[in-house]
Amino acid sequence: MMFPASASSLLRRLAHGAAAVLVASLTAVVATAQDDRDTDTPTGAVWLTGRTIAQLNAQINAGWRITDLEYESTSSNTFTAALVRNSGAYAKGWWWLVGATASQVASTLSTNNARLIDLEPYDDNGTTRFAAVMVANTGADAKSWWWYYGVTSTQIASALSTNNARLVDLERYSTPAGERFACVMIRNTGADARGWSYYYGISTSQIGTVLNQNGMRPYSIERVGSNAYDLIAIQNGGTYHWYYYGLSSAQVTELLQQNVARIVDIESYVLLLGGRRYDVVMIDAANDLTRTAWAQFDTSIGGAFGARMEQIGGGVLADMRSDFVFEPASLMKTVYHTYAMRRVSLGLDSLAANVTVPLGTVGSCPNNNGSSTTERLDVVLRKMMENSDNNRTLAIANRYGVGNINSMAAALGMSRTSVNHVIGCGGPVPNELTLTDICELHTDVANGYLGAVRDEFYTLMADGLGFPTWGSADLGARINTEAAALGLPNYVRDAFRAAVLVAYKPGGYGINGLSYMSEGGFLRVPFKSASGVVTEREYAFGAFHHGASSEIPARNGVSNATLAMVWDRVRAALRTWDNPFTGSISAFGSSCSGTAGMPRHSGSGTPQIGSSVNFNVSLTPGGAPVALALGVSNTAWNGNRLPLLLDFLGATGCELNIAPLVYESYTATARGTYSRAFPLPVDLSLIGRALYTQYTVLDGRANPAGFTSTNGLRTTIGGYR
């Protein structure tokens, strides 16, 4: 039997645990919001396990909202829960109940005009009780929906058919009458329509087959016994998603961080010998740039990987495992370089100073045994940063002391950075760095930590548009391709290239069969306003793959991730340079009659800097001398307003249309034409300026003055500001 939830007087509970059903139905509005399990808009997300009601309330009071709730113990009221920040795309009015009877759930729904998003039933000595999470069923969140408890699979199928609905929650529980289900469903029409399916008691291998064959992703998994699951699957529209079985809490957290994901469904249970375990469904929680960087890594080679980019003086643009402590290998040399340049900036050392360089080495591991040489400090730093020379790195460590280098890092707020062994020797204790820390270092340098030697700091590093170090693509080639696609002239492309700075340092170790690859650096790119004003924006970035089973895909992943992040900003800046001012050529004024007709002045070509225009004259006597006048005004000349009639000279009906500054003399062709090609130099100050021209034609029989004049021509010079 089915009863409307809003009519609480019709709520029925059959004696001795027989099937009781509760249905809520509301009409959806046209603008429909996605449910939490569909929404992949980035947001803050956490998961908690072993928490009491008071502990969950503390999290809730800090601005969080429960999206999935699992009982760990109904006697002690402890829970596993997934939560999101109750703001932005996830902001909703919501409520939650624990240990509630069906009538209490119904009353809360009715009072708040709410609908259920998660329902956890259990039998309490013949009374069905619930933990329930609900949201306001109003505005964009309003949907037609129903909920049921104490029902069989047959009754669920009937309700789905009757309501033209799909399941959003399915829970199995024990009652005195046997196994029953509680479920929540919404109408599967309009904006809520999805391809979907559901299954009872299938194995993990069957889940994989179902999802792969039908292009679906798990929406909800409910553990049944020890090796089977009830599954709700939904058509996947391209959303990144993951699902796992039997994880420890540490593994859940690790995978959430590595996938940049949030939990949409989690099952919590205890194994006899394995302790508490979790089955979990995750969905993408990364922004577009983070996900683009994530996609560059090879997930099949194991290890941990991450990427970060932040605008200096702005926000974080990409963030994946920014606080994971990784082995940086030669990327750590950036910290050495900063310390040396800090000493120079303070006048405590000089780039011209001589430095003793030990030449002892075993493989890639430098040592102080054997011979040495002497080099200038700037040479040592360049070889350390550009060539990644380990002996020069040891020379810097000898000169300043590793303890002082570590102290500087700590003073800069690089709290997880530590030099623990000679770089190039690979241990035994790993060196430590985080992406947050390397970005902090570059931010401090950009903000003046090195004073007047800031630019020298970048020059001594690997820099240029050949970035990144590894991989199959480079930044310079991408700029050229994009500039061509935008139709930018070469002078614009080249000016943009010259204004881009990328200074970076890679690092890589192979230790005990595993690879540790990283890269980090600084980016400066020029953005243009509509009026052509350039504003430089600066960024710090980095990426790593820690403990990968294969070196080449690990290093290529790091390079491709850093290139993807840098290219995102470089491409955005380059598009602001696609800001053309369109030049034009237009005639004005009048010509006067000659023996071959009225000579005409016209223009052709491209009126844009870096191109040329043709100043043409026609309808002159064959072979006549002609003079081209050029000027920058057509309003006044020698105190006379223009146009100026030349009748007083005997050139009846002729006009001076421009104020000439330059005259050029030529001879017309036998056909009475001439064309002067006039190149426009690449000079941005010319853009928007006007050049005025007019021809004078010697024609002795035309009038007493013996010459005629053409109309004037205004050439407004265009270009990319």
Percent of the chain with pLDDT strictly greater than 70: 96
Is the predicted pLDDT of residue 612 greater than 60, yes or no?
yes
Q: Which H or E element spans position 534?
A: strand 534-548
Cα 266 to Cα 204, 252, 279, 480, 535: the distances in Å are 15, 10, 6, 48, 48
- Indicate whether 214 belongs to any domain: no
- Indicate whether 297 belongs to any domain: no
| Residue among 200, 249, 201 at smallest CA distance from 225 | 201
Distance CA 358, CA 372 (A): 4
Is the predicted pLDDT of residue 29 greater than 90, yes or no?
no
Phi, psi (5° rounding) for residue 303?
A: 75, 180
Same domain, yes or no, for 394 and 309? yes
- CATH number of the structural domain spanning residue 556: 3.40.710.10
User: What angle (nearest 5°) sits at the alpha carbon of residue 456, between those of residues 453 and 458?
Assistant: 120
- Indicate whether 485 belongs to any domain: yes
Percent of the chain with pLDDT strictly greater than 90: 91
- Indicate whether 156 belongs to any domain: yes
Residue 9's pLDDT band (boundaries 50, 70, 90)?
very low
Residue 15's pLDDT band (boundaries 50, 70, 90)?
very low
pLDDT at residue 701 in the model: 96
Q: Residues 700-714: pLDDT tens digits?
A: 999 999 999 999 999
Same domain, yes or no, for 655 and 565? no
Q: How does 558-584 read in b/e, with b if 16+ C-beta sit within 10 Å?
A: bbbbbbbbbbbbbeebbebbebbeebe
Is the predicted pLDDT of residue 163 greater than 90, yes or no?
yes
Distance CA 655, CA 708 (A): 9
Radius of gyration for the chain, computed over Cα atoms and rounded to the nearest angstrom: 38
Same domain, yes or no, for 570 and 624? no
Same domain, yes or no, for 478 and 551? yes
Same domain, yes or no, for 560 and 593? no
Number of domains in the chain: 3
Q: What one-character-per-residue DSSP string does 68-97 give?
A: EEEEEETTTTEEEEEEEESSGGG---EEEE
Same domain, yes or no, for 549 and 566? yes
Q: Which H or E element spans position 438?
A: helix 435-444
- CATH number of the structural domain spanning residue 694: 2.20.130.20
| Residue among 559, 545, 541 at smallest CA distance from 309 | 541
Average pLDDT over residues 292-307: 97
Asked whether the CA dihedral 362, 367, 373, 377 is positive or negative, the reply is positive
- Among 163, 193, 223, residue at a domain's last position: 193
Q: Which H or E element spans position 222?
A: strand 216-224
Q: Residues 459-484: pLDDT tens digits?
A: 999 999 999 999 888 999 999 999 99
CB atoms within 10 A of CB 527: 16
User: What angle (nearest 5°) sits at the alpha carbon of residue 166, between those of residues 160 and 172?
Assistant: 80
- Among 576, 602, 636, residue at a domain's last position: 576
Is the predicted pLDDT of residue 148 greater than 50, yes or no?
yes
pLDDT at residue 32 in the model: 62
Same domain, yes or no, for 664 and 563? no
Please state the pTM of the whole predicted model: 0.85
- Indicate whether 500 belongs to any domain: yes
Residue 455's pLDDT band (boundaries 50, 70, 90)?
very high
Q: Residues 37-52: pLDDT tens digits?
A: 988 899 999 999 999 9
Cis, bond preceding 366 (omega within 30 deg of 0): no
Distance CA 580, CA 168 (A): 53
- Indicate whether 692 belongs to any domain: yes
Helices 402-411 and 333-345, packing angle to 10 deg = 80
Same domain, yes or no, for 400 and 536? yes
Domain membership of residue 168 as a residue range: 1-43+87-193
Q: What one-character-per-residue DSSP string does 387-412 give?
A: S--HHHHHHHHHHH-HHHHHHHHHHT
CB atoms within 10 A of CB 461: 22
Cα 490 to Cα 389, 447, 572: the distances in Å are 37, 33, 18
Same domain, yes or no, for 556 and 603? no
Rounded to a whole number of angstroms, the distance between the first and last alpha carbons of the chain is 74
Is the predicted pLDDT of residue 7 greater than 60, yes or no?
no
- Among 527, 550, 576, residue at a domain's last position: 576
Same domain, yes or no, for 593 and 710? yes
Distance CA 66, CA 700 (A): 97
Helix (H, G, I), strand (E, B) or coil at 188: coil
Same domain, yes or no, for 556 and 590? no
Average pLDDT over residues 122-127: 93
Q: Residues 495-545: pLDDT tens digits?
A: 999 999 999 999 999 999 999 999 999 999 999 998 889 999 999 999 999
Same domain, yes or no, for 465 and 500? yes
Average pLDDT, the chain: 93
Is the predicted pLDDT of residue 30 greater than 70, yes or no?
no
Beta strand ranges found along 312-391 (DSSP E): 316-320, 354-362, 365-376
Distance CA 234, CA 518 (A): 38
- Indicate whether 625 belongs to any domain: yes
- Indicate whether 246 belongs to any domain: no
